[in-house]
Amino acid sequence: MKRSAWRYLWTAPDIRRKLLITIGILILYRLAAQVPVPGADREVIRAVMSGTAPGTGFLQLLNFLSGGTIANFSVLAMGVYPYITAQIILQILVPIVPALKAKMEADPREGQQWMERWTYYLAVPIAALQALGQIRLFTYFSGGIPVIRNFGFSGANLLPSLAVILSMTAGTMFAIWLGQIISEYGLRRQGVSLIIFAGIVAGLPANFVRLMANPLIDVWTRVLYVAIALVVLVVTIFLIVVVYQGRRLIPVMYPSQRVGRRMSLPVKGTLPLPVNMAGMIPLIFANSLLALPGVVAGFFLTSENPTLAGIAAGLQRAFDPGQSGLYWLAYFILVVLFTFFYTEVLFLQQNYGEQLRRVGARIPGVLPGDPTQRYLTRVLRRITLPGALFLGFVAILPYLLVLAVPEAAQGGFSALMLMSSSGLIIVVGVVRDTVNLIEAELKMHGYDESLLVR
């Protein structure tokens, strides 16, 4: 009788250790997410998060993607997004600054280490600025009532205020550190993505409950909306999986090899190019980048200059996902652009043209080396276009649902976050990558792939 492959996770000590470390780190992250910032006023936070004023949709979106840490004003309220923002800045600078580009091309391993080190350094000031921006945002939406008691950078408030900023910055770095532990000792090579995944999954049940308890919608309408949401979730997951599995098979001829006294015939093979090589990374990048205008505007919302405060308020409304279509248009464009950008970065790092040339393989009708790389790049760009457009479409699906059913937006944008396609793509992508990694671990330990539960 064949045993299920999942039981082998516990019989193999190495896999069991990685699995337990991963689960333990995620539990630790969720426990730390419940620790509030010193001096946070829970009543003010609750009033802001339950309000419907323009701009609160932005906070509700951040709260969903952070797993409810913003509603608690936790020390982990910013999650790992400052780290993602730092990654975006550095990856954009590399192709622009010739010295950085030469450094990355001269020694890719050393260049990658340099990139990781400076991502940490840059994440610290970004986290501090974002912490200050969040505090100012809450103060603005609460009508000027401080969300942190005695917050200010003058007199006796200076040291307590610095302690708040430092605690939130330390919380972000702690979350990043947990992600790195998972990457090094757990079941995922990108532990930061798993940290984001844990926050999104933790917030899904609360959003279902919030929609079912919405007093502005009658009981049968709530049931109908939940049913529609479940149908949309199932269909969206199916489409995401289909697109993720999409491949363009490039024919490759491998050279003949000597077997004893005979030469074997050339071997025909294929090089699979995925439709979506970037996975869910463009969504994480786009979410992090779109959070910046709201954070920056938060510094000036309470300015004594009425013109500056008005511009900041207008910017806040423009990038409020619950009030403005501009946010979703920018979201779609950024997801498509980041899909192409990240795919190009990954493909250049792999350099298939040089790898095929070294083993003597070639694509029929294409010269080896640089011509092969250029050919593969053209093919990859063509197949990436439908994948990028699909990713952008699924990302803005909540906004399209609001346009189709305006009544579904009653009671606040947070009720719609249970159908957040961006969060769903991240969840499906992380689950898919984790399952593939588990399968690879099982195969390394000699278990038959046909026994794996799919």
Helix (H, G, I), strand (E, B) or coil at 375: helix
Given a contact cutoff of 8 angstroms between Cβ atoms, the answer to whether 48 and 41 are in contact is no
Residue 46 has pLDDT above 70, yes or no: yes
Q: How many CA atoms lie within 13 A of 383 on its CB side?
A: 21
User: For the chain, which residues make up each domain, given as ranges?
Assistant: 5-451
Write the pLDDT tens digit of every residue in 16-43.
788 888 888 888 888 888 888 887 777 7
Output the pLDDT for position 174: 92
Average pLDDT over residues 113-128: 88
Q: Which long-range contacts (CB under 8 A, 24 or more apart) does 308-313 make?
A: 313/55
Exposed, middle or buried, 188 (CB in 10 Å: 0-12/13-18/19+)? buried
Provide the CATH number for the domain formed by 5-451 in this structure: 1.10.3370.10
pLDDT at 454: 44
Backbone φ and ψ for 267, nearest 5 degrees, come out as -100, 130
Strands 262-263 and 258-259: antiparallel
Phi, psi of 40 (to 5 degrees): -70, 135
Mean pLDDT, residues 262-270: 68
For residue 412, pLDDT over 60 is answered with no
Give the global pTM: 0.72
Q: What is the pLDDT of residues 100-120, one digit of tens each?
A: 777 776 777 787 788 888 888
**pLDDT of 368:** 81
Mean model confidence pLDDT for the chain: 76
- CB burial of 405-433 (b: ≥16 within 10 Å; e: otherwise) equals eeebbebbbbbbbbbbbbbbbbbbbbebb
